[in-house]
Structure 1
């Protein structure tokens, strides 16, 4: 039996790495296939804790998703 102060350490999440930092890819509003991976089925942007992007690239990603929405490359909401 474990001590009452010690939590159970069975689950250990893996460290997520930012895809954009590793691959050095540019985020562009015209790359709809790339941007659609960071938007859920309701048309909302996925948070950093789900995507694993760093704060800097999450800001760039949000800006480019908004640009793509304004010129109708991505939908604002799903049907």
Structure 2
């Protein structure tokens, strides 16, 4: 279950969670530059299947982003298009 099949019959290894690989990196609401990587240009939170983050760290990211929005560190909606 560690490999995933792709179209032309090759296999590639399962990609690990970025935060599981680097346990020294903490998810905190005080770091808007890191949190912005997990937002769409419109300001929505990107799903964990696109960001390749495990469910535990996705939940921590979500709560950190929501806390940063409430404290006005991150905008709720990005109106710049």
Q: What TM-score do you get using the length of structure 1 for normalisation?
A: 0.83
Tell me the TM-score normalised to structure 2 length. 0.81
Unaligned 5+ segments in structure 1 are 1-7
Give the distance between the partners of 1:27 and 1:55, measured in 2 at CA.
Answer: 14
Query: Normalized per residue, which structure has more strand?
Result: 2
Provide the aligned length of Structure 1 versus Structure 2. Answer: 72
**Which is greater in Rg?**
1
Q: Which runs of 4+ in 1 moved over 3 A?
A: 11-14
1: CA distance, partners of 2:12 / 2:54:
17
RMSD of the alignment, in Å? 1.7
1:1-79 map, 5 Å: 9-10=7-8, 12=11, 15-24=14-23, 25-79=25-79
Which blocks of at least 5 consecutive residues in structure 2 are unaligned?
Answer: 1-5
